[in-house]
């Protein structure tokens, strides 16, 4: 078995768990290949009922020293940071001595956009001798593959909308925002910034309902892609069955995801939901430099 062979290579993987389903999907993928895991569950973000099924420790955001000490004691050399983490309020932070020593570096990271914050985490991990991996390196099955993924296929108009969306996201990524947009009938109708994909899709549904966006029938594509220069160990754009539900409620024709640049913790379920709702789901190649002009 490949699993047991891989198991001999290294100690358990330290999985720092934010919110959502991804931490457990990644943990299961690692375990299925015969390797151990230790979850470092972030209080207020990780789900206690899920966490309990794995070897774990609870941490507050900000307890760098606690993490380093426990992860070393568990024999972890590799770590992954997965799950959503809405920027914690100051009240949610707990600083230990190690963290306080790192504070200037952390504050510098906190001041920038998401990209800087997460890159800061990566540098801190390396400072303490851990190797920071991307979740998709440990659990390749969560990556969205290329091609038509369900029963339905994009039309020619949908393909044009997808091209336009990818080009827009490539340009916006330079501003450290925007892993998602909705393009409908050659028009960009919504751009995601701090609100997240589900709220952006709810907005499109509202605009259509209120007559501020006049589109007839199933039209428009949710396009998601990572930022062009993104550290892929963090924050790849993610989708799931809820994304399909929100896209269907917004009256879209389908969903286009950058192949190998977006993740799903429940891809088969998501594709089934899209098939049932009559939406296409496709994995598409990234925008090329040439297509970055509209």
Within residues 46-65, the interface with a copy of itself by CB under 8 A covers none
Residue from 6, 73, 86, 100 touching a copy of itself (CB under 8 A): that is 86
Let me know if 58 is exposed, middle or buried by CB neighbors in 10 A (0-12, 13-18, 19+).
middle
Q: Which is nearer to a copy of itself, 131 or 186 (CB)?
A: 186
247 touching a copy of itself, by CB under 8 A: no
- Inter-residue long-range contacts of 156-163, CB under 8 Å, 24+ positions, other chains counted: 157/185, 157/186, 157/219, 158/221, 158/253, 158/254, 158/256, 158/280, 160/186, 161/185, 161/186, 161/220, 161/221, 161/223, 162/221, 162/223, 162/256, 162/282, 162/284, 163/287, 163/291
Residue from 101, 123, 131, 186 touching a copy of itself (CB under 8 A): that is 186
* Contact status, residue 66 vs residue 96, Cβ threshold 8 Å: yes
113 touching a copy of itself, by CB under 8 A: yes
Residue from 172, 239, 252, 287 touching a copy of itself (CB under 8 A): that is 172
Residue from 8, 214, 289, 290 touching a copy of itself (CB under 8 A): that is 214
DSSP-derived secondary structure letter, 19: B
Q: Which is nearer to a copy of itself, 181 or 221 (CB)?
A: 181
CA–CA separation, 146 and 258 (whole Å): 8
212 touching a copy of itself, by CB under 8 A: yes
237 touching a copy of itself, by CB under 8 A: no
Sequence-ordered list of residues with C-beta below 8 angstroms from that of 192, at least 6 positions apart, any chain? 177, 178, 179, 180, 181, 200
Residue from 159, 171, 205, 249 touching a copy of itself (CB under 8 A): that is 171
Within residues 114-143, the interface with a copy of itself by CB under 8 A covers 114
104 touching a copy of itself, by CB under 8 A: no
Q: Residues interacting with a copy of itself, by CB under 8 A?
A: 86-89, 111-114, 164, 167-168, 171-172, 174-178, 181-182, 185-196, 199, 203-204, 207, 211-214, 293-294
């Amino acid at each position: 078995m490949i699993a047991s062979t891989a198991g001999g290579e290294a100690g358990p993987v330290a999985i720092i768990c934010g919110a959502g389903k991804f931490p457990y999907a990644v943990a299961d993928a690692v375990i299925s290949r015969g390797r151990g895991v230790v979850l470092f569950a972030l209080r207020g973000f990780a789900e206690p009922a899920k966490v309990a099924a794995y070897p774990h420790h609870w941490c507050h955001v900000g307890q760098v020293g606690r993490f380093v000490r426990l992860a070393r004691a568990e024999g972890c050399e590799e770590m992954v940071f997965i799950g959503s983490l809405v920027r914690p309020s100051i009240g949610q932070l707990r600083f230990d001595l190690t963290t306080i020593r790192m504070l200037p570096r952390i504050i510098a990271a906190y001041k920038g956009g998401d990209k800087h914050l997460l890159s800061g985490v990566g540098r801190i991990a390396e400072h303490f001798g851990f190797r920071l991996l991307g979740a998709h390196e440990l659990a390749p099955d969560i990556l969205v593959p290329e091609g038509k993924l369900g029963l339905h296929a994009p039309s020619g108009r949908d393909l044009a909308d997808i091209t336009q969306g990818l080009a827009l996201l490539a340009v916006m990524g330079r501003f450290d925002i925007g892993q998602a947009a909705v393009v409908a009938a050659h028009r960009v109708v919504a751009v995601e910034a701090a609100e997240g994909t589900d709220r952006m899709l709810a907005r499109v549904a509202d605009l259509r309902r209120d007559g501020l966006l006049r589109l007839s029938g199933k039209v428009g594509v949710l396009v998601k892609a990572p930022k062009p220069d993104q550290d892929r160990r963090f924050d790849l754009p993610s989708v799931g069955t809820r994304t399909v539900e929100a896209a269907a409620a917004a009256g879209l024709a389908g969903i286009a995801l950058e192949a190998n640049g977006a993740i799903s913790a429940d891809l088969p379920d998501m594709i089934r939901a899209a098939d049932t709702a009559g939406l296409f789901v496709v994995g598409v190649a990234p925008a090329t430099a040439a297509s970055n002009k509209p």
